[in-house]
Amino acid sequence: MSQVSILEKHRKQYQPKVPPSLRQGIAKVKVLEGAAAEPAKDRETIRKSFPNTYGTPLLSFQIGDASGEAKPLRIGVVLSGGQAPGGHNVIAGLFDSVKSVHAQSQIFGFLGGPSGLEKGKYETITQEKMDAYRNTGGFDIIGSGRTKLETPEQFDRCIEVIKSLELNAVVIIGGDDSNTNAAILAEYLKAKGLTTSVIGVPKTIDGDLKNPHIPVSFGFDTAVKTYSELIGNIARDAGSAKKYWHFIKLMGRSASHIALEAGLQTHANVTLVSEEVEKKNLSLEQIVDDIARVISARADAGKNYGVVLIPEGLIEFIPSFKTLIGSLNDLLAKNEAAFAKLETADAKIAAMSDWLEGALGATFATLPKTIQLQLLLDRDPHGNVQVSLIETDSLLAELVGRKLKGSPSFKGKFSSQRHFFGYEGRAAAPSNFDADYCYSLGCVAAVLVRSGRTGYMASIRNVSKGVDQWAAGGIPISMMFNMEQRHGHLKPVIQKALVELEGPAFKALVQSRAKWEIEDAFIYPGPIQYFGPSEVCDAITKTLELEQG
Ligand code: FBP
């Protein structure tokens, strides 16, 4: 990395803030054991699946003497899944902590995600390399990937690598699925008599890995602030030119936390929330009608412009589409060979239209051809539709346009622009919040490794308050499990945290949305600030403020 921007040069000097218990280095962290932690439900089934790692205690930290000798630690680290701002700082926190315990400690970065661990592809993180990536966005220090580590054969290959590198621990930085698999790997290693720890770190811009012990996953803060800046800019543009409706799709595979937060930050005219759509059993037509209603009302007030926010996962939450997508998944799996032989788009659509039965075929037929094709694209490694590839923004803009055209009462003008914000925010330079939170999570992971824990997730609570009140500790991953159907089997998994319709963040939207629909009440958040007053630089998200404040 020879050249860096001026901002990056200055940003590298930023020293992340850490909670009080970590301020004297990890050799001065005393680990306190709390009550044995168990999941909220399905306890017996989960206990049986995790006989060696079930029921371990909740851990909290305080300043004191760490037990154990100061020997070198050898830790492998994996960045798993989609990028999230701050991943480099997790590695930096881990790196600095283990080096402070013993200069001979080493961090091995597995390349390209979990497959690097399985195939033994790694790079030793040197001081020079680490320094080049401090407080930067992206996962490019070692790369990321979406390989799922879940079968005994894969775990056995990991064991070979773990043994050859004599690892004390593997730290897996990932979302709900990656952390689920981290816990399974921890159990597997223990069952095989290995003392190697497996520690998870909560990552995902989607914000859906959260619970009472994990207030937020890292990356959400920076990503959503980046999108909110862009949405604010678009709202200003819309209000200046007064001629476009902007349909903006926002990342978040399932949960609508990003769209909701961006709506709260910018006061967009319409913010769709997938969880509400599902709860109210809304059809695509009803969603279109509702957007058209807002556009008409604004047109009556002389405003032929506005902003609509659409969560990326919306389509899977519309009940009729959920069923359609489920059938498409089954049919694509069942007819894999036949489907692969079809060469043209028309042939693929025709074949699927034949295979789909009754009402499902009719729903499929109502969709524009581009969307039909997007629904037939390859699934991700978890068997999910890649919602980032489905242009819901275009779908809604087109259907709303058709609706308004056919409406005699609509007297305004409708012209739309479509956007998708996702990749723009996933590798952004971490905000102060994410820089501090991630570095601290890396230190927490180091403490958990040093104290010989396995199957734990690094946790920091009280993050809606100043860093002086942050509380660090470790949470047994198995306590976050519940049993879910996955690919026809009941499996223990970490439950995704969807937007709670009774929660304060959604209620705040409901309370104001009628006003934001009609009035120009836009807020323009502007870019993330890294230097300046703490009120600006250390601001937290509305969601965190409302949920935890
Ligand atoms: P993670 O859950 O792995 O953090 O990734 C989330 C995400 O950014 C989603 O918001 C999005 O749907 C998906 O990744 C896109 O995946 P890809 O990086 O494979 O295009």
Q: pLDDT tens for residues 465-504?
A: 999 999 999 999 999 999 987 766 789 999 999 999 999 9
Same domain, 449 and 524: no
Same domain, 295 and 213: no
How remote is the CA of residue 422 from the centroid of ligand 1, in Å?
9
Q: Whose C-alpha lies nearest to ligand 1, atom 11?
A: 253
Closest atom of ligand 1 to 80 CA is 3
Instruction: List the structure tokens of 415.
Output: 């012209």
Same domain, 31 and 115: yes
Same domain, 268 and 398: yes
Query: Which band of pLDDT confidence, cut at 50, 70 and 90, is reported for residue 399?
Result: very high
Are the C-beta atoms of 150 and 418 separated by less than 8 Å? no
Same domain, 255 and 213: no
How far from chain centre, in Å, is Cα 130?
24
Same domain, 376 and 434: no
Which residues does residue 474 pair with via DSSP β-bridges, in sequence order?
59, 458
- For the chain, the domain total comes to 2
Same domain, 419 and 434: no
Same domain, 255 and 305: yes
Q: What is the DSSP string of 28-79?
A: GEEEEEEEEP--SS-HHHHHHH-TTTTTPEEEEEEESPPSS-----EEEEEE
In a domain, 491, yes or no: no
Is 382's pLDDT higher than 80?
A: no
Parent domain of 312: 225-425+502-548
Q: What mean pLDDT comes out for the span 102-115?
A: 97
Which residues does residue 307 pair with via DSSP β-bridges, in sequence order?
246
Give the pLDDT score at 385. 79
Asked if 206 is an active-site residue, the reply is yes
170, 172, 177, 179: CA torsion to nearest 10: 70
Same domain, 516 and 474: no
How remote is the CA of residue 262 from the centroid of ligand 1, in Å?
18
In a domain, 488, yes or no: no
Q: Is the CB of 257 under 6 A from ligand 1?
A: no
Q: What mean pLDDT comes out for the span 437-454?
A: 97
C-alpha distances in angstroms, 288 versus 265, 266, 285, 405, 447? 24, 22, 5, 13, 51
Give the pLDDT score at 486. 75
Q: What mean pLDDT comes out for the span 358-362?
A: 89
Same domain, 169 and 250: no
Give the pLDDT score at 46. 95
Residue 23 CA to residue 36 CA, distance in Å, equals 27
Closest atom of ligand 1 to 387 CA is 12
Q: What mean pLDDT comes out for the span 77-101?
A: 97
Choice from 83, 181, 203, 205 to test ligand 1 binding pocket (greatest atom count within 8 A of CB): 205
In a domain, 62, yes or no: yes
In a domain, 497, yes or no: no
Q: Whose C-alpha lies nearest to ligand 1, atom 4?
A: 204
Q: Is the CB of 200 under 6 A from ligand 1?
A: no
Q: Is the CB of 253 under 6 A from ligand 1?
A: yes
Give the pLDDT score at 378. 81
Q: Is the CB of 450 under 6 A from ligand 1?
A: no
C-alpha distances in angstroms, 434 versus 33, 441, 539? 27, 10, 11
Q: What mean pLDDT comes out for the span 85-93?
A: 98
In a domain, 496, yes or no: no
Identify the CATH number of the domain in which residue 92 sits. 3.40.50.450
Give the pLDDT score at 127. 98
What percentage of residues in the chain have a pLDDT greater than 70? 99
Q: Is 183 exposed, middle or buried (0-12, 13-18, 19+ CB in 10 A)?
A: buried
Give the pLDDT score at 2. 65
- Out of 176, 206, 208, 434, the active site residue is 206
Which residues does residue 30 pair with via DSSP β-bridges, in sequence order?
62
Same domain, 198 and 257: no
- Mean pLDDT (the chain) is 95
Choice from 251, 374, 390, 434 to test ligand 1 binding pocket (greatest atom count within 8 A of CB): 251
How remote is the CA of residue 267 from the centroid of ligand 1, in Å?
25
DSSP 8-state secondary structure symbol assigned to residue 114: H
Give the pLDDT score at 294. 98
Instruction: List the structure tokens of 200.
Output: 């998870």
Q: In what order do the strands lie in the sheet with 245-250?
A: 270-271, 306-311, 245-250, 416-421
Q: Is the CB of 252 under 6 A from ligand 1?
A: yes
Give the pLDDT score at 65. 82
Is 260's pLDDT higher than 60?
A: yes
Give the pLDDT score at 384. 74
Instruction: List the structure tokens of 91.
Output: 């590695």
How remote is the CA of residue 82 from the centroid of ligand 1, in Å?
5
Which residues does residue 203 pair with via DSSP β-bridges, in sequence order?
218
Q: Which of 394, 374, 237 is nearest to 310 (CA)?
A: 394
Q: Given 3-state DSSP classes, what are the helix, strand and coil percentages for the chain, each rounded to the nearest 5?
A: 45, 15, 35
Is 18's pLDDT higher than 60?
A: yes
Query: Which band of pLDDT confidence, cut at 50, 70 and 90, is reported for residue 129?
Result: very high
Closest atom of ligand 1 to 219 CA is 4
Q: Where are the alpha helices (DSSP H) in 102-210?
A: 114-119, 127-133, 152-164, 176-191
Residue 80 CA to residue 87 CA, distance in Å, equals 10
Q: Is the CB of 84 under 6 A from ligand 1?
A: yes
| pTM confidence score | 0.95
Residue 135 CA to residue 491 CA, distance in Å, equals 37
How remote is the CA of residue 81 from the centroid of ligand 1, in Å?
7
> What ranges make up the beta strands (E) of 231-288?
245-250, 270-271
Q: Is the CB of 81 under 6 A from ligand 1?
A: yes
Give 498-534 pLDDT, tens digit per residue: 999 999 999 999 999 999 999 999 999 999 999 999 9
Give the pLDDT score at 329. 86
Query: Which band of pLDDT confidence, cut at 50, 70 and 90, is reported for residue 1?
Result: low
In a domain, 81, yes or no: yes
Give 37-77 pLDDT, tens digit per residue: 999 999 999 999 999 999 999 999 999 987 767 899 999 99
Give 164-213 pLDDT, tens digit per residue: 999 999 999 999 999 999 999 999 999 999 999 999 999 999 999 999 99
Residue 526 CA to residue 239 CA, distance in Å, equals 16
Give the pLDDT score at 488. 66
Identify the CATH number of the domain in which residue 340 sits. 3.40.50.460
92, 210, 452, 82: CA torsion to nearest 10: -50
Query: Which band of pLDDT confidence, cut at 50, 70 and 90, is reported for residue 7?
Result: very high
Same domain, 151 and 94: yes
Place of tokens 């037509």: 285
Query: Which band of pLDDT confidence, cut at 50, 70 and 90, is reported for residue 322?
Result: confident
Q: Whose C-alpha lies nearest to ligand 1, atom 19?
A: 82
